[in-house]
């Protein structure tokens, strides 16, 4: 049997009605896993689950509503009998502008969704199942959490904290539960349209692999990280960005001496 096979495993993927979460749900189901897909809206979660081939269930749960998260964990155990995989995928970047212009409300919103929610869901899944039976967690971070960018400082700080949290949890939950993160570059999803829609060809030329990401690029990496093929990987953040962090590839193609970061 392939070490990528997830037959008999059950995953919860938060924020899976579209974008990267939906692609992760598809990839896990394609590897044989059962999947529970969450979103704030029940119809969206159920429609996404219906689209996934295999055993899938859609559940409405605002990601930092503790009662809804507990209901989701309970429903997963009732339907599938375990929670072997958790993908903490929901993220928000609703705090555009310099960090010093942000207020406490935007701070708590960003850090609530991007940092507290992964702690909450990991805690519930660990207590309910993984702590005793083992499991794998993947947090969706961002390459933004590894550098600096105009106007996205608060979001990037929350993703940097998520990368740190991934290491902390990897140690706290060892050896039974592996905890890793993915750090995507710019990926074609609804949430990030403002980042790529008007300047896709410019981004493509600046990227070593000559294109922005597709949700499936991240989904397949997540399915790898939760599988036995990654059974000796924990606390790591897997950058999937087509080479965007390497610097402006166009400058290199032109023979410039500008150095990559």
Ligand X SMILES: NC(=O)c1ccc[n+]([C@@H]2O[C@H](COP(=O)([O-])OP(=O)(O)OC[C@H]3O[C@@H](n4cnc5c(N)ncnc54)[C@H](OP(=O)(O)O)[C@@H]3O)[C@@H](O)[C@H]2O)c1
Point out which residues bind ligand X (CB under 6 A). Answer: 15-21, 38-41, 44, 62-63, 89-91, 113, 140, 142, 184, 186-187, 189-192
**Beta carbon nearer to ligand X, 10 or 114:** 114
CB 3 within 8 A of CB 229: yes
Catalytic residue from among 121, 129, 155, 224: 155
Nearer to ligand X, 36 or 187 (CB): 187
Q: How far is CA 188 from CA 171, 184, 192, 193, 215, in A?
A: 33, 11, 7, 7, 7
**Distance of closest approach, residue 176 Cβ to ligand X, in angstroms:** 25
- DSSP conformational letter for 197: G
Nearer to ligand X, 190 or 201 (CB): 190
**Minimum Å distance from CB 163 to ligand X?**
12
Q: Which residue from 44, 40, 43 is spatially nearest to 62, judged by alpha carbons?
A: 40
CB of 144 to ligand X, least distance (A): 7
CA distance 100 to 58: 39
Quote the CA–CA distance of 238 and 235 in Å, as a whole number. Answer: 10
Question: Is there a contact between 162 and 156 (Cβ–Cβ < 8 Å)?
Answer: no
Work out the number of other CB atoms within 10 angstroms of the CB of residue 191. Answer: 15
Q: Which is nearer to ligand X, 189 or 227 (CB)?
A: 189
Closest distance of CB 4 from ligand X, Å? 22
Is 155 noted as a catalytic residue in this protein? yes
Q: Which structure tokens are listed for 55?
A: 């055993």
Give whichever of 5 and 62 is closer to ligand X, judged by the CB atom: 62
For the CB of residue 3, give the shortest distance to ligand X in the complex, in Å: 26
d(CA 141, CA 143): 7
Task: Name the DSSP letter for residue 190.
Answer: S
As annotated, the active-site residues are: 155
């Amino acid at each position: 049997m392939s070490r990528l096979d997830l037959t008999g495993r059950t995953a919860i993927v938060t924020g899976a009605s579209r974008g990267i979460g939906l692609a992760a749900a598809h990839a896990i189901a394609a590897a044989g896993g059962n999947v529970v897909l969450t979103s704030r809206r029940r119809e969206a979660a159920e429609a996404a689950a219906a689209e996934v081939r295999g055993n899938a269930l859609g559940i409405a749960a605002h990601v930092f509503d503790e009662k809804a998260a507990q209901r989701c964990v309970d429903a997963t155990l009732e339907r599938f009998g375990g929670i072997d995989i958790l993908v903490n995928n929901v993220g928000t970047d609703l705090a555009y502008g310099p960090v010093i212009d942000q207020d406490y409300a935007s701070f708590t919103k960003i850090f609530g969704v991007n940092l507290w929610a992964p702690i909450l869901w990991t805690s519930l899944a660990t207590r309910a199942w993984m702590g005793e039976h083992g499991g794998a967690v993947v947090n969706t971070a961002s390459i933004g959490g590894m550098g600096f960018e105009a106007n996205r400082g608060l979001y990037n700080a929350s993703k940097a904290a998520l990368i740190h949290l991934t290491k902390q949890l990897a140690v706290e939950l060892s050896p039974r539960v592996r905890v890793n993160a993915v750090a995507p570059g710019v990926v074609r999803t609804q949430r990030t349209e403002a980042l790529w829609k008007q300047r896709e060809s410019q981004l493509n030329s600046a990227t070593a692999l000559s294109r922005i990401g597709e949700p499936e690029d991240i989904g397949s990496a997540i399915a790898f990280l939760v599988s036995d093929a990654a059974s000796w990987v924990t606390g790591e953040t897997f950058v999937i960005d087509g080479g965007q962090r390497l610097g402006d590839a166009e400058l290199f193609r032109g023979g410039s001496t500008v150095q990559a970061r």
